[in-house]
Amino acid sequence: MGNKLINKDIQDYINANLNTDLHTLLLKKSPFQEVSMHEIVQQIKGKQVAERKFPFLLKEGIIFPPQLNLEQASSEKTALYKSGILKGNKFIDLTSGFGIDAYYLSQNFSDITLVEQNTELLEIVEHNWNTLERQARFINKKLEDFLDQNQEYFDVIYLDPARRDEHKNKVFLLEDLSPDILEIQEKLRSISKQVVIKLSPLIDLKYLISVLSGIVRIDIIALKNDVKEVVVFLSNENTDKIMCNCINLDSSESVFSFTLGEEETALAEYSEPEKYIYIPNNTILKAGTFNLISQKFGLKKLHPNSHIYTSDERIGNFPGRIFEMEIIDSKAIKKKDQFNIISKNYPLKPEEIKKKYGLKDGGDRYLIFTQSKKGKIILKSV
């Protein structure tokens, strides 16, 4: 498939139709005998995804796989972040997929191996790596078969397990993934100093710690405050502390790091709203480090379940948004006013609030509907 698709006339046709309605295009007959319209549309979809997710692949000669493979592939930005963490001699990606993570994570390694059971997908990856002048060993095998036959030791093993079952439904528990991480974890740790596993942003951290051995680090990675992945690092080194890093890429925020267990001993102070209001980013909310944020930044919490903080003096480097706000009465809200609505620990959702008060969405002003220990409150940006 790959050699046909890189034909200049076919590529010109693909590029000329990047903004064409794809449903309409699929109803047409392919102008090229050697490729179907379905194959052409697949390449258009790939280029559209690449433009926002991995623009380094917007290069002549690159071939894109089906949509499902593009969905699970890491973005260029999250892969680039991870590449700064790992280094060594021998690197292996046991679930290569479209190879985005492998391409970046392996940059600090001299010996690179990619394992992938999908023959067509691996052929696409090998073609693309050759186009990008990147060297690796490509192995077309099931991960389990490779592990049974393997005699090598690696500095880093990387996995991004498939998170869909045989019915294409999303799954999250480690035993439901493909491969079953719980079944192979000891084998992985026996052939590598470090095992790195990319997991769904929906994975529960307490569950993760209860079923995986040798965890030394967990990274919660967001892109523009949208949590994209949870990355867990396994090691054979003994440690009684697990480091957790909350990273919000494409923001000016610094990484918030702590050791798991600190939250259990942290104490939060409580207060009614003061001059400044703080809302943690979604990596902090995912980590569940609500009291520790209060303690480390010297902030007071409004309510145990609101996860909104306050101070009279502005505190910098906070991993989230900071507002200067005041409490208002609901009667001060005028119909058709324009606000961004935030609802935290409040009975109504933002859409319900807009409907109730007749508000327009957007603009540069904010209303926060939440609760303090004294009850429901409304905050307006100053």
- Rounded to whole angstroms, the Cα distance separating 137 from 130 reads 11
pLDDT tops 80 at residue 133? yes
244-292 pLDDT per residue, tens: 999 999 998 889 999 999 999 999 999 999 999 999 999 999 999 999 9
Kindly report which listed range (71-75, 91-95, 354-358) carries the lowest average pLDDT score.
71-75
> Is residue 300 a contact partner of residue 274, using CB atoms and an 8 Å limit?
yes
- Rounded to whole angstroms, the Cα distance separating 374 from 327 reads 13
Structure tokens at 179: 């491969």
Q: Identify which of 53, 94, 88, 93 has the alpha carbon closest to the alpha carbon of residue 70.
A: 53
Q: How much is the pLDDT for 92?
A: 98
Can you tell me the mean pLDDT for 171-199?
91
Q: How much is the pLDDT for 168?
A: 66
> Is residue 268 a contact partner of residue 242, using CB atoms and an 8 Å limit?
no
Selected residue with higher pLDDT from 169 and 328: 328
Q: How much is the pLDDT for 171?
A: 74
95-114 pLDDT per residue, tens: 999 999 999 999 999 999 99
186-197 pLDDT per residue, tens: 999 999 999 999
Q: How much is the pLDDT for 120?
A: 94
**Predicted structure pTM score:** 0.92
Reduced to 3 states (helix: H, G, I; strand: E, B; else coil), residue 95 is: coil
How many CB atoms neighbour CB 343 within 10 A? 16
pLDDT tops 60 at residue 2? no
Cα separations in angstroms, 40 against 2, 3, 47, 69: 11, 13, 11, 16
pLDDT tops 70 at residue 166? no
Topology of domain 73-259, per CATH? Rossmann fold (3.40.50)
pLDDT tops 70 at residue 1? no
Share above pLDDT 70 across residues of the chain, in percent, rounded to a whole number: 98
Q: Give me the DSSP letters along 198-213.
A: EE-TT--HHHHHHH-S
Can you tell me the mean pLDDT for 154-178?
83
Where are the domains positioned within the chain?
2-64, 73-259, 264-381
Model confidence band, residue 14 (pLDDT cutoffs 50, 70, 90): very high
DSSP 164: B
Q: Quick one: CA dihedral 227, 230, 231, 232, positive or negative?
A: positive
Selected residue with higher pLDDT from 94 and 167: 94
Q: How much is the pLDDT for 228?
A: 95
DSSP 359: P
